[in-house]
Amino acid sequence: MVRSVLITGSSGLVGRSCVERFHRAGFSVYGVDNNAREFFFGKDASTRRENATTSSNGNLLTEFDLDITNRLAMFDLIGRIKPFAVIHTAAQPSHDKAADIPFLDFETNAVGTLNLIESLRTHNADGIFVHLSTNKVYGDSPNFLPKVELGKRFDFADEHFGLGINEAQPVDGSMHSLFGVSKLSADILVQEYGRYFDMKTCVLRAGCLTGSNHKGVQLHGFLSWLVKCNLSKNPYTIFGYEGKQVRDNLHANDVAEFIFQFVENPKPAAVYNLGGGYLNSISILEAIDIVEQVSNIPMQTNYNSRSRKGDHIVYYSDLRKIQSDYPSWQVDWGLEKIIESLVRDGFRE
């Protein structure tokens, strides 16, 4: 019997990689994507090209133009499909944009998640639910850890150095942004369905995710937007911390591979920090250096001394828990490989 999977945000960065990974594994793949990214960020962020590609390229999936905030539509769709697993990657993903659209942000990220997981529980309580969360659930609490300022980056000055932030990092007593709040609401909700209803659920607290399918814009998509600015010779704006703020980066294909491994060996109420880890951590200044070397195009920058509210100064994921539970999963895409791919595919466009 062929297993089915429903992927929300199926034309987006991670959703697209999940579509391809589960299709290769022989699943019947269904998608939900209403191109909300274009509404949030404008025409340049549209995923319609990926939508058209998936509809006509080898029948990778059956995709539905539906809104996850539409409860009746989600109940009807999941009731008809009764998927083996739901992979929830759809979201309003911007830290800053949420302040302009607080109701829509919360309805999309929190209520949309409730619509999906309750629909799955109603129609297939044995189904697996994987939720793509964010490191913003920790708010700016990592900023209060001891730090050291180096030539082109900040880094941790305590036991977190070289390891990163683990799942015990506090979520209380810090500034999250409204985006962080809506995602934390969904994060705890999915955990509770795992504990209260004994469903097989997974929360993935992701850092910066990237890949050639990313439609980067200033408000979301760090490396993709940086490369896009470089190739188009437009200025990239650095917000605060002199460009020394640090993030870990993970390719969407590596995300999809972990999700596939979890679906094959699920657990109830699992929570993991998912990122590139220390080896894939990089500051904006360091990223600019690598992009310039790969593209041979000098980077133009503007500097805004006002940092974004609740922004992390240093964040990279402690991967020990996720790799202990799933030792066959690893980060295959290193930073230079990621950036070389972004530049190469950017030139093709």
Full set of structural domains in the chain with CATH = 4-348 (3.40.50.720)
**pLDDT exceeds cutoff 60 at 53:** no
Q: What's the whole-model pTM score?
A: 0.93
pLDDT mean over 282-295: 97
**pLDDT score of 231:** 94
**pLDDT exceeds cutoff 60 at 290:** yes
Lowest average pLDDT, out of 58-72, 137-151, 263-277, goes to 58-72
Q: What percent of the chain has pLDDT over 70?
A: 90
pLDDT tens digit sequence for 161-206: 999 999 999 999 999 999 999 999 999 999 999 999 999 999 999 9
**pLDDT exceeds cutoff 70 at 56:** no
pLDDT mean over 260-264: 98
pLDDT mean over 253-261: 98
Report the mean per-residue pLDDT for the chain.
92
pLDDT tens digit sequence for 95-124: 788 899 999 999 999 999 999 999 999 999
**pLDDT score of 54:** 43
Q: Between residues 290 and 220, which one has the greater pLDDT?
A: 290
Copy the structure tokens of residue 102: 């607080």
Copy the structure tokens of residue 311: 């922004």
pLDDT range class, residue 62, cuts 50, 70, 90: very high
Question: Do 119 and 79 contact (CB within 8 A), yes or no?
Answer: yes
Strand-strand pairing, 85-88 and 62-64? unpaired
**pLDDT score of 39:** 54
**pLDDT score of 124:** 97
Rg, the chain, Cα only:
19
**pLDDT score of 50:** 52
Question: Do 61 and 29 contact (CB within 8 A), yes or no?
Answer: yes
**Separation CA 302–CA 310 (nearest Å):** 21
pLDDT mean over 308-331: 95
**pLDDT exceeds cutoff 60 at 49:** no
Lowest average pLDDT, out of 218-232, 271-285, 309-323, goes to 218-232
